[in-house]
Amino acid sequence: MNIQIVRPGELGDSERARWRELQKADPSLDNPFLSVEFAVAMDRLRDYVRVAVISDGDGIAGFFPYERHSFGIGKPLGGFLTTCHGLIAAPDLRLDAKALLRACKLSVFDFDHLVAGQPTFAPYEQDVRPAPVMDFTSGFAAWIDQVKANSPKNLKTVRYKERKLGREQGELRLAWASADPEVLRTLLAWKSDQYRRTGRVDRFAQPWIVELTEMMHAEKSSDFGGVLTMLYAGDVPVAGHFGLRTATTLVGWFPAYDTEFARYSPGIVHHLQMAEAAANDGLHMVDMGKGGKEYKDWLKSGVLYVAEGRISRPSATAAVHWIGRTPFNKARTIVMDRPSLYRAADRVLKGFGRVRTSVQQQESPNVVKEASGAS
C-alpha cells in the first residue's frame, strides 16, 4: 500500500469521483459526514484538515480524512460537530492502523462515532453504541406504525399538541429544503439560545462554524446537500432543523424551536412532519445519532452502530493525551448510557444556564448605563 497525505481541496476530479464510488458501494458509509464535499468544505475553513489517499497496484483503495492538531494529536474530521467518521474504502480493506497513523504523522487518534466493524480499526474499538434511525424503506405508514407500537401514548400526545398548535396559532405548514438564508439565521439564533439556556457551549459563537453551516446550506447536488426545514403556524416559524443528506440518508444536526411555543412541543411535532416530508422526497432514512434525548427511542425503527476507541503509537504525547482524555471519555460514556444519569446531568447544565442568563440580565443595565456615561 502507498499512502499519500494531501489536503481535501487538492483532490482532483478523478479522485473525488473514486471517493464517491467507494462510499456508494458500501451501505455503512451512507452518511454525509463521510462525503468528499464535507471534507473539502472543512478544508476551506480549517488549516489542520488532511486526507490520506491509500493506493495499491490497482489504483486508489481508500481515503482516510482526519484532523492533525499540535504534537501529532489526531481527531476525526469535524470532531465534536459530526456524528460519523471512518475509512472510506471497500468493506474488506484492512490496514495496519499504527502504520496508517505513522504515515499521517499522528501520535494518537481518538474516535467516538466511527463506523463500527471496519477491519482497520476494529481491534481498537473499546465500545460499540447504537445510533437510532427512522427507517422509511418500507414506507412512511410502516414507520408510523412502528412509532405507535414503540409508544402509543407519546404519539397520541404529540398528535393532540399538533392539532392544538394549528388550532390556536394558525394552520401548520412545513417548508422542506428551504433555500432562504434568513430562515437559517432564525434557526441558528434559536439553537444558540438553547445552548446558552441549557448550559452548553454555544457552537455558533465560533464564526467558522456559522460559515460552515452556511456553506452546507448552499450545497445542492444529487449526492450531497444541506436540508433546512421549518414548521410554521400560520406565517410564524415555530420549529426547524438543519441537517446534511446523501442521496438516501438525512443526518440530524441542528434542531431547535421558538421557546414561546414550548407548551405545544413544537420540536417533536416538527420531527414527525419532517419525517413524512423526507420519506416523500425519496429518502430512506433519518439518522438521529447516538445518545441524547429519550424521544429518539420511540421515534426509531432501526439502529446503526458506531464505535468508540483509541489508537496510539508509543510517545510522550500519546501518554499525556491518555491521561487528559481517557477518564473523561469513560465518564461521558457512563452518563450517556444511563438515562437517569443523563437526566441528572441535563438538569445541572440547565440550572447553570439559568444562573448564567440571570447574571447576564443583571449586568446588562449597568453596561447600558456605562455606555451612556461614556458617550
List all residues 6 or more positions away from 323 whose beta carbon is below 8 Å from its beta carbon.
none
Which has the higher per-residue pLDDT, 354 or 182?
Answer: 182
Question: Within a 10 A sphere around the Cβ of 179, how many other Cβ atoms?
Answer: 12
The model's pTM = 0.85
Which domain range does residue 208 map to? 138-283
C-alpha cell at 346: 441535563
pLDDT reading at 187 higher than 70: yes
Q: How confident is the model at residue 57 (pLDDT cuts 50, 70, 90)?
A: confident
pLDDT reading at 25 higher than 90: yes
Domain shared by 248 and 320, yes or no: no
pLDDT reading at 361 higher than 50: no
pLDDT reading at 41 higher than 90: yes
C-alpha cell at 56: 495499491
Provide mean pLDDT across the span 4-19.
Answer: 98
301, 147 contact by CB (below 8 A): yes
pLDDT reading at 341 higher than 80: no
Domain shared by 209 and 344, yes or no: no
Q: How confident is the model at residue 353 (pLDDT cuts 50, 70, 90)?
A: very low
Mean pLDDT, the chain, whole residue set: 88
Domain shared by 276 and 148, yes or no: yes
Provide mean pLDDT across the span 283-305.
Answer: 92
Domain shared by 83 and 151, yes or no: no
* pLDDT for the residue numbered 356: 43
Domain-located, residue 58 = yes
Provide mean pLDDT across the span 167-180.
Answer: 98
Domain-located, residue 294 = no
Provide mean pLDDT across the span 221-229.
Answer: 97
Q: Could you give the CA distance from residue 92 to residue 128 in angstroms, rounded to a whole number? A: 19
Q: Which residues of 71-98 are buried (b: 16+ CB within 10 A; e: fewer)?
A: ebbbbbbbeebbbbbbbbbeeebebebe
DSSP 220: B
The CATH number for 95's domain is 3.40.630
CA distances from 113 to 34, 140, 152, 156 (A): 11, 27, 31, 33
Domain shared by 75 and 98, yes or no: yes
Domain shared by 114 and 18, yes or no: yes
* pLDDT for the residue numbered 335: 45
Q: Which of 124-128, 142-146, 229-233, 369-373 has the lowest mean pLDDT?
A: 369-373
Q: How confident is the model at residue 372 (pLDDT cuts 50, 70, 90)?
A: very low
Highest mean pLDDT among 95-109, 285-299, 332-346, 357-371: 95-109
Q: Could you give the CA distance from residue 131 to residue 301 in angstroms, rounded to a whole number? A: 11
Domain-located, residue 359 = no
Domain shared by 122 and 153, yes or no: no
Domain shared by 257 and 185, yes or no: yes
Question: What is the tens place of the pLDDT at every residue in 67-118?
Answer: 999 999 999 999 999 999 999 999 999 999 999 999 999 999 999 999 999 9
List all residues 6 or more positions away from 48 whose beta carbon is below 8 Å from its beta carbon.
67, 68, 69
* pLDDT for the residue numbered 374: 34
Domain shared by 142 and 96, yes or no: no
* pLDDT for the residue numbered 294: 84
Strands 172-175 and 125-135: unpaired
Domain shared by 191 and 76, yes or no: no
Domain shared by 279 and 323, yes or no: no
- Tell me the HSE value of 331 on the side-chain side, using a 13 A CA sphere: 6
pLDDT reading at 354 higher than 60: no
